[in-house]
Amino acid sequence: MSGAREIIGKRVAKFFRAGDLVNLGIGMPTAVADYLPEGSHIMLHSENGFIGLGPIPAPGEEDKDVVNAGGAPVTMVPGGACFDSATSFALVRGGHLAATVLGALEVDENGNLANWMIPGKLVPGMGGAMDLVAGARKVIIAMEHTTKDGKPKILKSCTLPLTAANEVDYIVTELGVMEVTPEGILLKELAAGVTVGEIQDKTQARLLLPDVIGKME
């Protein structure tokens, strides 16, 4: 059976169309780069200053000068371009991103996002997430459905300090795909072998159920 990273990465990659410029955050979202169809003409933006982010390099082929915003080795696709932080954030704040894909500590039924701080723990700061959620036309959260100790991460109301309020559009986990609507979180797709009861049991917020729930592929 595929792991959570593969399931989530493959599904998020299906959101995009040719010509889209998409930002990938650090952590789970980086998996998306490995599953974009070859020749898809989707360009990936990395907050630290380049367009053309590619898949993770093969062992031994890492280039210390080609890393993502989290400092992890990546590749660049032909036609990629590097630039300074001012240009990078001009792209973000100017509304040029079709979407951003971010990880999360918590998301709630109002589309609020908490993904930068756990009180009492040392953190480097919010980083560019606050700009990304405000500037991208679509905000997609890619994360495991629960914490390591099984607690829900999709809540009625976030308990951690917010990164942004009312900005999340979609949530993709290893259990399913959900859309944040004005009425609440709509369950759009279920992963193979997952039931409505199982995903609801692992979700604090009440999931809205459409007449037909799709299959997450």
| pLDDT for 38 | 84
47 catalytic, yes or no?
A: yes
| pLDDT for 112 | 98
Q: Is residue 199 domain-resident?
A: yes
Mean pLDDT by 10 residues, the chain (217 residues): 88 96 94 90 95 94 92 93 96 97 97 91 81 97 97 97 96 98 98 98 98 96
pTM of the model: 0.95
Q: Which of 6, 38, 47, 167 is catalytic?
A: 47
Q: Is residue 189 domain-resident?
A: yes
Q: Is residue 53 domain-resident?
A: no
Query: Which of 67, 135, 136, 133 is closest to 103 using CA atoms?
Result: 133
Q: Is residue 169 domain-resident?
A: yes
Residue 158 to residue 199: CA distance in whole angstroms: 19
CA 24 vs CA 85, 103, 200, 201: distances in Å: 16, 9, 28, 29
- 108 residue type, one letter: D
Q: Is residue 90 domain-resident?
A: no
Residue 139 to residue 90: CA distance in whole angstroms: 18
The domain in which residue 124 lies consists of 4-35+95-215
CA 159 vs CA 29, 71, 142, 155: distances in Å: 23, 29, 19, 9
| pLDDT for 7 | 97
If one counts the domains in the chain, the total is 1
- Which CATH number does the domain housing residue 109 bear? 3.40.1080.10
In which region does residue 120 sit, left (phi positive, over 0), alpha (psi from -120 to 50) or beta (all else)?
Answer: left
Within 13 A of 50's CA, how many CA atoms are on the CB side?
17
How many Å is the Cα radius of gyration of the chain? 17
DSSP 213: P
Q: Is residue 48 domain-resident?
A: no
Q: Is residue 130 domain-resident?
A: yes
